[in-house]
Amino acid sequence: MVKFSGYSLTSSFTPFHSVMLKKQRIFSALDLYINNSTKSRRKPSVFANKHQPRNIKTHTEMGAEQYRPPLFSVAPMMDWTDNHYRTVARIISKHAWLYTEMLAAETIVHQQGDLDRFLAFSPEQHPIVLQIGGNNLDSIAKATQLANSYGYDEINLNCGCPSPKVAGHGCFGVRLMLDPKFVGEAMSVIAANTDVPVSVKCRIGLDDHDSYNELCDFIYKVSSLSPTKHFIIHSRKALLNGISPADNRRIPPLKYEYYYALLRDFPDLRFTINGGINCVDEVNAALREGAHGVMVGRAAYNYLWNTLAHVDSAIYGAPSSGLTRRQVQEQIWPSTGIYLLIFLSY
């Protein structure tokens, strides 16, 4: 048993792959989300003075609370979760939460004359989360301020990308987990410049900094120094020894026990589980086990139809769209026909 300031990680945790064989618990993920969401409203930031926005448009009708909770979300994926993908995904599922590709804060700041190219999206894509990355507080503040008027439903900071371009030369992404104080400051800056909730997506650690104690230290400091109440946990550590992002999704072992221990040890926070969950049945198994929400990555892209077509009915208990694959195809402009014929076949 490992302890961190009163927190502990038991070694008797049941591996995730066996949870589908267990008797279903009496548990309402929806009720849990509603109860916890009342604790996540933004508090005044100690960093707000320096980075306080001016003349920002407010979104009294926007924000996470008007939508169903993020029991199911599609992970932010570079070159994958672009506007085209999100348009198709939203036709298939009305309730899945969608994420943008990660946008570097510096890119947003330096492209002020062409922001629509990077930030614009159709109203039908709600609920949608903007993920940004960066390691400069001024750039993060300015990027958030510029993005605020676009009406995203949540702003997420990337603290999990292991790409050499991001975590290596860029010195952000998962490398930020080594500096929880900075992440707390960055999250306060983001919250001070937006009208919607904020969240962090991270790994369970990186390289030799992979103990449960260190993960707890990161979560505790970020949530104490900022209004962040929602963390998306990729249940693998990252290896920054030059391996590819693909290998970082395969080689480090999944440690779901870290995620479920966080649920116990930080009851006032919300945690979404990510990593190795590939179908709706596995999503529901995680929710029954107590997960507040589940994020699915490559499976939601590679098996677009077979995954998203069942989300509304099987996860949210809502009527499905009733659309056939051909009807989805007919709603998209003809120039994307080949794209849809490929991806709607799975």
Crossing angle between the packed helical segments 212-225 and 256-265, to the nearest 10 degrees:
40
Point out which residues pair with 72 in neighbouring strands: 294
- Distance from chain centroid for Cα 142: 21
What sign results for the dihedral spanned by CA atoms 14, 249, 227, 34? negative
SS3 state of residue 7:
strand
30 three-class SS:
helix
Contacts of 3 (CB under 8 A, 6+ apart): 213
Report the greatest alpha carbon distance in the chain: 58
How many other C-beta atoms can be found within 10 angstroms of the C-beta atom of residue 4?
A: 18
Distance from C-alpha of 287 to C-alpha of 42, rounded to nearest angstrom: 26
With CA atoms as reference, report the closest residue to 311 among 125, 95, 153.
95
Tokens of residue 275, six digits: 């990593």
Q: Which residue type, as a one-letter code, is found at position 123?
A: P
What tokens were used for 44?
């005044």
**Known catalytic residue at 161:** yes
Helix (H/G/I), strand (E/B), else coil: 99: strand
Cα 326 to Cα 251, 322, 323, 338, distances in angstroms = 38, 11, 8, 13
Instruction: Tell me which of 159, 161, 202, 216 is the catalytic residue.
Output: 161
Residues whose CB falls within 8 Å of the CB of residue 119, separated by 6 or more in sequence, listed in order? 103, 108, 130, 146, 147, 150
User: Could you tell me which residues come within 8 angstroms of residue 322 by beta carbon, excluding any fewer than 6 positions away?
Assistant: none
Omega before 69 within 30 of 0, i.e. cis: no
- Catalytically active residues are 161
